[in-house]
């Protein structure tokens, strides 16, 4: 889980499969290259399943595997921590900006 975008990808896939373009819209800050690399790594680790459909235009759908679902409690804990500490981190950012 070393890449910056991996937890976000899993967060957006938690409610069901998404196409590559849908994931890109969810995480616009990630470049196409970074998104592709992140998805490939998650697939290689057995956390994501990639389903490619032979059609024009190409359709690729990503979903979380059973093994990937074992990360759900950890991701939920991270989300809860983020919600709890959001104001603190936002205030810290404002203090840095004033310096």
> Tens digit of pLDDT for each residue in 8-34?
999 999 999 999 999 999 999 999 999
- Cα-flanking dihedrals φ and ψ of residue 17, to 5°? -65, 150
Note the pLDDT of residue 26. 94
Residue 1 has pLDDT above 60, yes or no: no
Q: Which CATH number fits domain 6-98: 2.40.50.460, 1.10.3720.10, 1.10.10.10, 3.30.505.10?
A: 1.10.10.10
- Cα-flanking dihedrals φ and ψ of residue 3, to 5°? -85, 145
pLDDT, tens digit, 9 for 90 and up, residues 56-65: 888 999 999 9
Q: For the chain, what is the mean pLDDT?
A: 88
Q: Where are the alpha helices (DSSP H) in the chain?
A: 6-13, 20-26, 32-44, 66-69, 72-98
- So where are the chain's domains? 6-98
Residue 94 has pLDDT above 90, yes or no: no
CB 62 within 8 A of CB 50: yes
């Amino acid at each position: 889980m070393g890449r910056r975008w991996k937890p976000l990808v899993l967060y957006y896939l938690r409610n069901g499969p998404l196409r590559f373009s849908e994931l890109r819209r969810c995480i616009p800050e990630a470049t196409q290259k970074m998104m592709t690399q992140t998805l490939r790594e998650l697939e290689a680790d057995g956390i994501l399943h990639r389903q490619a459909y032979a059609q024009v235009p190409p359709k690729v759908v990503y979903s979380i595997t059973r093994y990937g679902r074992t990360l759900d409690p950890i991701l939920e804990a991270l989300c809860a921590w983020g919600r709890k500490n959001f104001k603190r981190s936002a205030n810290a950012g404002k203090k840095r900006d004033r310096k």
